[in-house]
Structure 1
Amino acid sequence: MADRKALGGKKLVIVESPTKMRSIQGYLGDGYQVLSSVGHIRDLADKKDIPADLKKTSVGKYSIDIENGFTPLYVESERGKKTVAELKRALKDADELLLATDEDREGEAIAWHLLQALKPKVPVKRMVFHEITKEAIQAAVEHTRDLDVALVDAQETRRILDRLYGWDVSDVTRRKVGQGTSAGRVQSAATRLVVDRERERMAFVSASYWDIVANATPRDGAPQPFSTRLARLDGAPLARGTDFDDTGALKKAVVVLSEDDARALGAAIEAAGIATVASIEAKPGTRSPKPPFTTSTMQQEAGRKLSMSAKHAMGVAQRLYEKGYITYMRTDSIALSAQAVAAARAQAVALYGDRAVPASPRTYKSKSKNAQEAHEAIRPSGEEFRRPADVASGLDRDEQRLYELIWKRTIASQMSDAAYETTTVVLEIDADGRTASFTASGTVYTFKGFLEAYEEGRDERRGDADSSDDQSLPQLAVGQQVGLTEIEPKGHATTPKPRYTEASLVKALEEKGIGRPSTFASIIDVILERGYVTKRGQALVPSWLAFSVVRLLEQHFTDLVDYDFTAALEDDLDAIARGEQQRVAWLNEFYFGSDRHVGLRNIVDNLGEIDARAINSTPIGDVATLRFGRYGPYLDVPGEEEGSSRIVNVPPDLAPDELTPEKARELIEAPVAGDRVLGVHPETGRTIVVKDGRFGPYVQELVPEPEEPAEPPKRGAKKAVAPKPRTASLFTSMSVDTIDLDQAVRLLSLPRVVGVDPETDTEITAQNGRYGPYLKKGTDSRTLQSEQQLLDITLEEALAIYAQPKYGARAASSALKEFDADPVSGKPIKVKDGRFGPYVTDGTTNVTIPRGQTPDDITFEIAVQMLADKRAKGPAPKRTTTRRTTTRKTPAKK
């Protein structure tokens, strides 16, 4: 057999994603074999995976040997074992191994884990690239490097830190707040941010003030009206929203007009009618473009402009990167390569002319301290950027929108400053002996510059919403007379800080140094999934559960939720990534403590008694106490007798800042809704009532209490069991207030016998189940389109439904999403909507999309991994029935 090396073996390249695998294989050619690890192949062991002989050691608690250098216990997942076996087979025919995972901490760690699992005997090199283009991939092959052990240490430290923090602190939250709760190094700080903002809103005191607006029209020249606002009265400034603090008190000396004052002053101004131009001031200014996108700013802008969640934006960006349209999307850098700067400038000139770019290219200095992770900013890939119109055919709608956003931001970042001139006019009028000064401002752009391409969005802001700066002012001269008309006194009230949106929370996390931009999407996803935060439109509203968890952490784990401490942990992890700190020494200090830090173990061991009732209680003025219990929040109201109390439910959609003492009093004094009697069932003679239960409204047929027997029952006799009352849930189209007796009787008749199939002589029934209305014939069930069909469907209509192929209508419908072929089965992957919800399939293997995720969240990589995990589990074990045999005893001989 010929020597393999003499024949020239292939080089094995391992990437993370199957999508990258196919693209890169085409760029490298036949001399290379490109395979995918499909993400991580192993992780810290769960408690069930820890060997029995280690369960009683320090490893048994965390899967980490904290007594011996914090050595982690890693295990391969079922999918990981299969992947490693495939990679080992491929490695036998390779003469070199190129690890081409992403160039960040996580990617470096995946490469290290591959080395540990594969144990290659051929040369190993680290191959890195920031865009998937032919030029970039070929350059990466030519410029390989060694594995960066410092980056691996930083990622391993982060993983160990999160395990220690999460498992220890979450155990306390579960015992003192409730099952299903958890704590985490970054998630807890993020939750606290949202709760702190709600606390500010709850403590906020609104202040009211009035001003006057009017339309001004020059008396001479062309009559071009413009809007003005009262700014001063007798030289003293008029109050604005920014002049009040959050307690409603003034921060400086200003004139505060009441409604009566404003209306009286408005009448005097209207009587005078004519104002004089007191001053005109014109100021030139410039605006510079924002730098190209980092991970954080991309998430923020995708939220503001495209209404994408952080998680969804990252998923779309991942697909764009893997398809070769943009550079790597996990980056803290705002710097562009020389070829990217040249491409952006050339495209700006082609689109907007020579003046569109400055004489010298713009340079942006990255804020990242981690030089080893300072990638290029997010930009369109290649030496020449593809315009959005040129890529539309290869992308879905969200990919097109995000690509266009990235393309515009990149082009604008290299364009010229915008130039403008702001003119401010002051008008004075004598109003019954008082001098009222009105102001009007107008901004005119003399050169649009980068604004031709792109303008950054804004988060919601407090204060006066005044867009008068955008108006165009006429030519005026000092001393010129101006008529004031449409004089309108306006009342205002100060507002609290707006709630965080995903975009503004991402911005706050980055400003405080909590977490890393690549983790922001998963952080927000966790606090939403845990029920700590819900979304009201774009706003993030904390739940009372979040208040309880945060209160527990603030009182007993003060350091661990301190913003500065959390940010300092990130800085320390960055120092480990740069090789400036040692992993084991740092973990020892964090866990066991030192002069500057108490240590997690010491905090947990010395918690003392924690009053769970106090942790889950929030006073609502002196009216009641909000408590969070097993079934959610409720008001604990003192009763008339000493020591007694009663419970008042809190509406689930009521935000914490809306539960004021006044609202609490309203809930307490509201009449208790009792059962509404609908009438008597015409057949049974029993009373039917409608109720609003914990799981929704329903009707119930009341069963009378069984009469007491005249004589006591004999010993050993079975006790009479009262019949169970019939109940039926209301249809979604029905209401507790409007349902009548006839509808209730029909509901109680369910399940309803529709008729008998004449061919099989099998009864067909209409039933309402967990997943909606359906027909049942023996073991064959068919979904109905509406609940009303349960009451109205005829036998002929039911037989017509059964005459159709099962799921025929669904099979004929188009898939929700379609991807390329699965690397294992070779069949196209689709996301479909099934009877039990959306699922991923390759035609052979089906995987239901987990609760909390939508079809929009599923990428090709996620779909491949879901299918691989399902195959690794194997088919569900068949339920076996053990036949019970009875041995007959031989009767005893007489």
Structure 2
Amino acid sequence: AAELYGPEYVPDKPRVYTSKSKNAQEAHEAVRPAGDRFRTPAQVSGQLRGDEFRLYELIWKRTVASQMADARGSTASVRLAATASDARVAEFSASGTVITFRGFLAAYEEGRDEERVSSDAERDAERRLPAMTVGDLLDVRDLDVAGHETSPPPRFTEASLVKALEERGIGRPSTYASTISTIVDRGYVGMRGNALVPSWLAFAVTRLLEEHFPRLVDYDFTAAMESDLDKIAGGDADRSQWLQRFYFGDADGADGLKGLADDLDDIDARDISTVPLGDGVVLRVGKYGPYVEQIGPDGEPQRATVPDDLAPDELTVEKARELLTMSGDDGRELGTDPATGRTLIVKAGRYGPYVTEVIEDPKDTGGSDEPDAGTAVAAPTPPAPSAAPKARAAKKTAKKAAAVKPRTASLFKDMTPESVTLADALLLLSLPRLVGVDPTSGDEITAQNGRYGPYLRKGTDSRTIASEALIFDIDLDQALAIYAEPKLGRGRATTPPLRELGVDPVSGGPVVVKDGRFGAYVTDGEVNATLRKDDEVEAITLERAAELLADKRARGPVKKKRTVKKTTAKKTAAKKTAAKRTTAPAS
């Protein structure tokens, strides 16, 4: 760091980092570049490509920056007042931050291009404020009107939750992962992107613990318990005495677990799991999930299931009444499907609003299984006792197979239960839509809507499409163009080739050099060949690329190793023969 940036960028003594968590066991030395002298990313760019280079660059920057001096800067805010034409006083503000010494930030700027550095310098210059004193009269050159909305604190992520637990002294590095997996597996939180969203079950459990077991969920008590367990693990405290105090209480008058458990009968589970929303509407957490409830005009309770994707902070009184309306009427009738003659309705379900068809029960249509009066009927022969269970099971299976399942389809994001029409419902129930047939493979390409949004499917290959509207608008040419593009992993973007070399003499395809996950390679669109250690991207020729591709074709595709399951010879136990006991006759 001193050689690259100067001696002032290095502190007087090396920085030493220790674990902030108690009882933390350090696994190994931090990952760092190998050797006594760390080669810069620019020095290894010719040997490493793709993910390997990005990983080395990340490790190098973090390692060097961890031993550099702090960055220093200054921040200033100025408040200005002006009198408007209607004699009202308007206030304006300006603020700026200037980095006077980059410190460790210099390592993170390593490898930036000149354009980015110059843009940062221009942005810093714009934020730099001129010298001024209180009472100065300033000339107004330009005014910008900008709206600002306050927002609540962001939801916890796994990383921020671990940080909060560390700050309170709760948990240990070895327990953080299991703690998060437990609250997710039990349904206390759900994942929305990277955010942890609490469920209504979590609110009910938290209320139960806070009202009836406040000492056990107190932050200070939990942190003290962690410290006591550390002492027990280190041999500085007796576990039997600690367990006795925890269960029976201590001399300070604190109740133990036994005293708290004796009051379990006083807990009103219905009251604990009820959250008033307002205007007579309440939310309850039941056995099968959360639901909203209100007393109807007839004095009977009206209930509606709360969708799983509706977060607690998004459930308002208006939304609850909307769910009750949808559920109370057993869905809104949209019309009749001309193809089947069945009635289509829109309903609110656990996973959001959806459209479905109503299938009438044969018993409700007036049909009867009774025979005519003049028909002779033979008395049925009862099955044998051993065949009765099998007959009942077969009858149950046949009845289940004969039951017709109604078609259902979730509404698109831009649809609402109030605005959806019969035409919309018919389109939704017609999915998946056949886009066409791939002329090369002969596979059908369909467009459909799934849990994670709209997508195309061709055999087992799925590709995401931009919007739900494209499900009905995309044609075969557009679908083939999407499948012609390389399939990307989540969060990756298409990158242009590093070099274009020309036309391959064998296949006739354009030969380009690309950057892949395992380094640079050449391809003609059909065959890929990795560059050797002696090959450089800037110096490789078309002839050399054609040679690599020809060698790869000659070797053929890589055969996957077949795992052979070992069969252990079964040992046959030798049958022991007992000697016959003979009794001599009495003489």
TM-score range, shorter chain: 0.5 to 0.7
Q: 2:260 aligns with which of 603, 606, 619?
A: 603
Q: 1:614 aligns with which of 254, 268, 271?
A: 271
Is the alpha carbon distance of 1:688 and 1:477 closer, same or farther for their aligned partners in structure 2, counting shifts above 3 Å?
Answer: closer
In the TM superposition, 1:250-399 aligns within 5 A as 348-363=1-16, 367=20, 370=23, 373=25, 378-380=30-32, 384=36, 389=41, 397=51
Q: Does structure 2 conserve the Cα–Cα contact (< 8 Å) formed by 1:423 and 1:443?
A: yes
Q: Does structure 1 conserve the Cα–Cα contact (< 8 Å) formed by 2:64 and 2:107?
A: yes
- Post-superposition Cα deviations, 1:844-890, rounded to whole Å, max 9, x if no partner, equal 389xxxxxxxxxxxxxxxxxxxxxxxx99x9xxxxxxxxxxxxxxxx
Matching residue's letter, 2:97: T
Three-state SS of the structure 2 residue aligned to 1:567 is helix
Q: Does structure 2 conserve the Cα–Cα contact (< 8 Å) formed by 1:442 and 1:469?
A: no
- Partners of 2:279 and 2:10 in 1: CA distance: 64
Is the alpha carbon distance of 1:722 and 1:446 closer, same or farther for their aligned partners in structure 2, counting shifts above 3 Å?
Answer: closer
1:727 corresponds to 2:380 = no
Q: Does structure 1 conserve the Cα–Cα contact (< 8 Å) formed by 2:97 and 2:124?
A: no
Three-state SS of the structure 2 residue aligned to 1:561 is coil
1:522 corresponds to 2:178 = yes
Q: CA deviation at 1:612?
A: 2.5
Q: CA deviation at 1:815?
A: 13
Q: CA deviation at 1:512?
A: 0.9
1:646 corresponds to 2:280 = no
Q: Does structure 2 conserve the Cα–Cα contact (< 8 Å) formed by 1:421 and 1:445?
A: yes
Matching residue's letter, 2:337: G
Q: Does structure 1 conserve the Cα–Cα contact (< 8 Å) formed by 2:306 and 2:350?
A: no
Three-state SS of the structure 2 residue aligned to 1:595 is coil
2:514 is matched with which residue? none
- Partners of 1:785 and 1:368 in 2: CA distance: 46
1:582 corresponds to 2:582 = no
Q: 1:625 aligns with which of 266, 282, 286?
A: 282
Q: 1:573 aligns with which of 216, 219, 229?
A: 229
1:687 is matched with which residue? 342
- Partners of 2:17 and 2:257 in 1: CA distance: 40
Q: CA deviation at 1:569?
A: 1.2
Is the alpha carbon distance of 1:619 and 1:711 closer, same or farther for their aligned partners in structure 2, counting shifts above 3 Å?
Answer: farther
Q: Does structure 2 conserve the Cα–Cα contact (< 8 Å) formed by 1:700 and 1:726?
A: no
Is the alpha carbon distance of 1:527 and 1:395 closer, same or farther for their aligned partners in structure 2, counting shifts above 3 Å?
Answer: farther
Between 1 and 2, higher relative CO (CA 8 Å, sep ≥ 6) is seen in: 1
Q: Does structure 2 conserve the Cα–Cα contact (< 8 Å) formed by 1:699 and 1:744?
A: no
Is the alpha carbon distance of 1:589 and 1:384 closer, same or farther for their aligned partners in structure 2, counting shifts above 3 Å?
Answer: farther
- Partners of 1:385 and 1:661 in 2: CA distance: 65
- Partners of 1:498 and 1:400 in 2: CA distance: 33
Q: CA deviation at 1:667?
A: 3.8
Matching residue's letter, 2:404: R
- Partners of 1:744 and 1:510 in 2: CA distance: 50
Matching residue's letter, 1:441: S
Q: CA deviation at 1:624?
A: 0.9
Q: Does structure 2 conserve the Cα–Cα contact (< 8 Å) formed by 1:691 and 1:700?
A: no
Q: CA deviation at 1:566?
A: 1.1
- Post-superposition Cα deviations, 1:786-807, rounded to whole Å, max 9, x if no partner, equal 89xxxxxxxxxxxxxxxxxxxx
1:289 is matched with which residue? none
2:65 is matched with which residue? 412
2:366 is matched with which residue? 706
Q: CA deviation at 1:447?
A: 1.6
1:656 is matched with which residue? 312
1:554 is matched with which residue? 210
Matching residue's letter, 1:659: L
- Partners of 2:278 and 2:125 in 1: CA distance: 43
Three-state SS of the structure 2 residue aligned to 1:641 is coil
Q: Does structure 2 conserve the Cα–Cα contact (< 8 Å) formed by 1:424 and 1:439?
A: yes
Q: Does structure 2 conserve the Cα–Cα contact (< 8 Å) formed by 1:388 and 1:400?
A: no
2:396 is matched with which residue? none
Aligned-CA RMSD value: 5.2
- Partners of 1:636 and 1:504 in 2: CA distance: 35
Q: CA deviation at 1:508?
A: 0.9
Q: Does structure 2 conserve the Cα–Cα contact (< 8 Å) formed by 1:706 and 1:722?
A: no
Matching residue's letter, 1:727: K
- Partners of 2:229 and 2:44 in 1: CA distance: 39
Q: Does structure 1 conserve the Cα–Cα contact (< 8 Å) formed by 2:21 and 2:172?
A: no
1:264 is matched with which residue? none
Is the alpha carbon distance of 1:605 and 1:648 closer, same or farther for their aligned partners in structure 2, counting shifts above 3 Å?
Answer: same
2:563 is matched with which residue? 844
Q: CA deviation at 1:571?
A: 0.6
- Partners of 1:450 and 1:485 in 2: CA distance: 37
Three-state SS of the structure 2 residue aligned to 1:350 is helix
Q: Does structure 1 conserve the Cα–Cα contact (< 8 Å) formed by 2:307 and 2:350?
A: no
- Partners of 1:560 and 1:362 in 2: CA distance: 39
Q: CA deviation at 1:564?
A: 1.3
- Post-superposition Cα deviations, 1:498-527, rounded to whole Å, max 9, x if no partner, equal 322222211111111110133223322222
Is the alpha carbon distance of 1:486 and 1:396 closer, same or farther for their aligned partners in structure 2, counting shifts above 3 Å?
Answer: closer
Q: Does structure 2 conserve the Cα–Cα contact (< 8 Å) formed by 1:623 and 1:661?
A: no
1:636 is matched with which residue? 293
- Post-superposition Cα deviations, 1:181-223, rounded to whole Å, max 9, x if no partner, equal xxxxxxxxxxxxxxxxxxxxxxxxxxxxxxxxxxxxxxxxxxx
- Partners of 2:306 and 2:428 in 1: CA distance: 30
Three-state SS of the structure 1 residue aligned to 2:175 is helix
- Partners of 2:69 and 2:90 in 1: CA distance: 41
Is the alpha carbon distance of 1:652 and 1:726 closer, same or farther for their aligned partners in structure 2, counting shifts above 3 Å?
Answer: same
Three-state SS of the structure 2 residue aligned to 1:525 is helix
Is the alpha carbon distance of 1:439 and 1:727 closer, same or farther for their aligned partners in structure 2, counting shifts above 3 Å?
Answer: closer
Q: CA deviation at 1:576?
A: 2.2
Q: CA deviation at 1:487?
A: 4.2
- Partners of 2:280 and 2:403 in 1: CA distance: 39
Is the alpha carbon distance of 1:573 and 1:843 closer, same or farther for their aligned partners in structure 2, counting shifts above 3 Å?
Answer: farther
Q: CA deviation at 1:669?
A: 4.9
Three-state SS of the structure 1 residue aligned to 2:282 is strand
1:509 corresponds to 2:169 = no
2:539 is matched with which residue? none
Q: Does structure 1 conserve the Cα–Cα contact (< 8 Å) formed by 2:232 and 2:239?
A: yes
1:70 is matched with which residue? none
Q: Which has the higher helix share?
A: 1
Q: Does structure 1 conserve the Cα–Cα contact (< 8 Å) formed by 2:355 and 2:408?
A: yes
Identity %: 43
Is the alpha carbon distance of 1:603 and 1:426 closer, same or farther for their aligned partners in structure 2, counting shifts above 3 Å?
Answer: closer
Q: CA deviation at 1:429?
A: 3.3
1:540 is matched with which residue? 196
Matching residue's letter, 2:342: T
Is the alpha carbon distance of 1:745 and 1:471 closer, same or farther for their aligned partners in structure 2, counting shifts above 3 Å?
Answer: closer
Three-state SS of the structure 1 residue aligned to 2:297 is coil
- Post-superposition Cα deviations, 1:391-434, rounded to whole Å, max 9, x if no partner, equal 9989994x976775555344323212323244454544344656
Is the alpha carbon distance of 1:618 and 1:716 closer, same or farther for their aligned partners in structure 2, counting shifts above 3 Å?
Answer: farther
**What's the TM-score once normalised by structure 2's chain length?**
0.55
Q: CA deviation at 1:745?
A: 9.2
Three-state SS of the structure 2 residue aligned to 1:559 is coil
- In the alignment of these two chains, the number of paired residues is 407
Q: CA deviation at 1:568?
A: 0.9
Q: Does structure 2 conserve the Cα–Cα contact (< 8 Å) formed by 1:541 and 1:655?
A: yes
Q: CA deviation at 1:625?
A: 1.1
- Partners of 2:366 and 2:139 in 1: CA distance: 87
Q: CA deviation at 1:733?
A: 10
Is the alpha carbon distance of 1:552 and 1:558 closer, same or farther for their aligned partners in structure 2, counting shifts above 3 Å?
Answer: same
Q: Does structure 2 conserve the Cα–Cα contact (< 8 Å) formed by 1:368 and 1:374?
A: no
